[in-house]
Amino acid sequence: MSTKSSPRAPARPRAAAPNRRERAIDLRAAGSAAAPTFKPIHTRRTFEEICERIREQLALGVLKPGDKLPAERELAQQLGVSRNVLREALRSLEMAGVLKLQKGVKGGAFIQQGDTRRMNEVMRDMLSLGTISVGELSEARVHVLDLVVRLACANARRADLDALEANIARTELATKEGRLLDRVECSREFYKLLAASTGNKVIAMIVDSVTEIHMRFVYAKVASSGVAMARLAEKRRQFLAALSDRNVTLASRLLRAHLESVQRMLEQDPGAMSLHVALADVQPGMRR
Amino acid sequence: MSTKSSPRAPARPRAAAPNRRERAIDLRAAGSAAAPTFKPIHTRRTFEEICERIREQLALGVLKPGDKLPAERELAQQLGVSRNVLREALRSLEMAGVLKLQKGVKGGAFIQQGDTRRMNEVMRDMLSLGTISVGELSEARVHVLDLVVRLACANARRADLDALEANIARTELATKEGRLLDRVECSREFYKLLAASTGNKVIAMIVDSVTEIHMRFVYAKVASSGVAMARLAEKRRQFLAALSDRNVTLASRLLRAHLESVQRMLEQDPGAMSLHVALADVQPGMRR
DNA sequence: TCCATTGAATGGGTGATCCATTTAATAATC
DNA sequence: GATTATTAAATGGATCACCCATTCAATGGA
């Protein structure tokens, strides 16, 4: 990093050693009259600095999707850090969906197109950690989907409607062939397509993050009980018709009614509603 | 990992070496009749496996916020991996807000209460990478805030309204004293409080992620031009009065009008609207 | 012309070693 | 006895020197 020039300097001059007591606090407290808290600081570690720099280059537009970072060994030398700590930074950025690391000659660290699934992971973590509840998630989903319906009625294009139609056909086929779990996958895709038809990727991202988790519960329920929503494709067609007619009121009412009936189905058997089951039970299309 | 037992086994038996060609593909293609794509696989790396296991323990409820993981050296041994690769995993989880690493004896890796700011980072990355646009973000913000107003009218409690009132007082003071940038901070807090008054943390998280970025633009604009929204506190009070009266229509109209006027202010000077400036220009309260 | 071989670049992973910080136990001082 | 330095151990932070596996272009033989 910038704080290190000689490659073999043993001591890394870290952010202001917090060894001196009273005097230091006095000095800083004098700086701003109304700042009684002194917690943060949180000595910067090199990998954080590296992450930040790369993100800075991204925000500045110096780095763009598709670009390749220098090879690990070279970049480590340029930054004056060990390869290991550089890798910690690259790893973090990879997990964040910013980078993709590829092996082999001609491999390297490539800036990615943003991965919208990352928001799903955030939601999952928040749920796992108990920061948010299933109830809040469900409620948010209902409200956001209501918003989506209104926007979709206003903005959905022919291609969007066709995609939804094709999705319903797949749902129908899965139902006919008894592939109930595939049908759950179709449902998730349905909401994804619906959200996409708003033409707003931010909203689409939000919807998918919230839908992904919801569908895990549905999946767990269907897998354990074998019970599934009746007349699903039919209801979808009614909804799509309303959407095609740009009938906001009807479309909104139909979707809301459907969401409520699904909720009732889920709540029938609280045992299958276990957070742990739903979050742990991954399936092909639902892995992160 | 489970795939390694001897501590000095040189070759790590990674996921099925993809060396054999036709035969392997034939075999797998025979498995599912309608699966023509063979891209994924993406050989699992140990750090991914570690992250997944820890997240699994979280989802299962075995690990809870406040818990401490074994020390790096010990955990690495338990998992049968090197300390370096374990650290890559812990780093990633720390960046994800799942863990916090603390130094010193009695230090270690502690499971955190979920950090809702992580969603902000996702939004920022998506914007930096060009996956979403400022326009989509603004649009989403307007719609989500409209939803928030409706929910807040229904659910806001006395304490929420008091907090908003106190925030407006701070805004007023900052205006009086000419601290325009502090006032921007107040604005961000206002929306945070408003979102919190819905009683739904999922929605609050979404609002804040979208507000944080918006406020960066406002901040950059105010900092560069010295121009600031007129009669801000007054407008806020009118809005709060409507909210207190549970007058959804009026509150919604007032907020919408305000958002539009802010938008006009921002668009006056497209030069100050640079994405790069806004994203790079961090400020005390707005750092990640 | 085509296919196998080779070799270099690159990410993936390991183990040993050191540093800096933190805390508790201990010793020294008042 | 209470307070204050000192010490020692545990822990994360970081480095170095290797080695392996994968990939792909260059090479060379059939």
Contact A261, A268 (CB under 8 A): no
Question: A187 CB contacts (<8 Å, ≥6 apart)?
Answer: A171, A215, A218, A232
Q: What is the mean pLDDT of residues A60-86?
A: 95
- Nearest nucleotide (C1') to alpha carbon of B104: C22
User: What does pLDDT average to over chain B?
Assistant: 83
Task: Using the structure block, give the residue that is written with the tokens 């507000």.
Answer: B211
The pLDDT value given to residue B4: 34
Strand partners, B111: B99
Nearest to B203 by CA among A256, A206, A200: A206
- Which residue has its C-alpha nearest to nucleotide C12's C1'? B45
C-beta atoms of B118 and A123 within 8 A: no
Confidence of residue B268 (pLDDT cuts 50, 70, 90): confident
State how far the alpha carbon of B154 is from the alpha carbons of A18, A74, B8, B243, B256, in Å: 48, 58, 63, 9, 18
pLDDT tens digits, one per residue of B31-47: 233 333 333 445 688 99
The pLDDT value given to residue A281: 61
Q: What is the mean pLDDT of residues A240-251?
A: 98
SS3 B111: strand
What pTM was estimated for this model as a whole?
0.84
* Residues in chain A closer than 8 A to B113 (CB atoms): 129-131
The pLDDT value given to residue A117: 94
State how far the alpha carbon of A118 is from the alpha carbons of A93, A95, A287, in Å: 12, 9, 12
The pLDDT value given to residue B146: 98
Q: How far is the CA of B108 from the C1' of C14 (A)?
A: 22
The pLDDT value given to residue A44: 82
Nucleotides of D under 7 A from a protein CB: 8-25
The CATH classification of domain A117-280, taken from the options 1.10.230.10, 1.20.120.530, 3.40.50.300, 1.20.58.1610? 1.20.120.530
The pLDDT value given to residue A282: 54
Which amino acid belongs to residue A226? G
The pLDDT value given to residue B276: 76
* Residues in chain A closer than 8 A to B143 (CB atoms): 147, 151, 203
* Residues in chain B closer than 8 A to A84 (CB atoms): 84, 87
A71 DSSP assignment: P
Tokens describing residue B126: 């998506």
The pLDDT value given to residue A267: 86
* Closest residue, chain B, to A124 (C-alpha): B59
* Residues in chain A closer than 8 A to B151 (CB atoms): 143
| A43-111 and A117-280, same CATH topology | no
Min mean pLDDT across A85-94, B29-38, B138-147 is at: B29-38
pLDDT tens digits, one per residue of B213-257: 999 999 988 888 888 888 999 999 999 999 999 999 999 999 999
Q: What percent of chain B has pLDDT over 70?
A: 81
- DSSP string covering B72-110: HHHHHHHHTS-HHHHHHHHHHHHHTTSEEEE-STT-EEE
C-beta atoms of A122 and B118 within 8 A: yes
Residue A42 predicted with pLDDT over 70: no
Q: Which CATH architecture does the domain made up of B43-111 adopt? A: Orthogonal Bundle (1.10)
The pLDDT value given to residue A46: 93
- DSSP string covering B171-186: HHHHHHTT-HHHHHHH
Domain extents for chain A?
43-111, 117-280
Q: What is the mean pLDDT of residues B85-91?
A: 97
**CA B48, B50, B51, B53 torsion: positive or negative?**
positive
The pLDDT value given to residue A270: 65
Gap between the Cα atoms of B275 and B271, Å rounded: 10
Tokens describing residue A275: 């957070």
C-beta atoms of A98 and B125 within 8 A: yes
Q: Which of B119, B143, B279 sits opposite A147 (nearest CB)?
A: B143
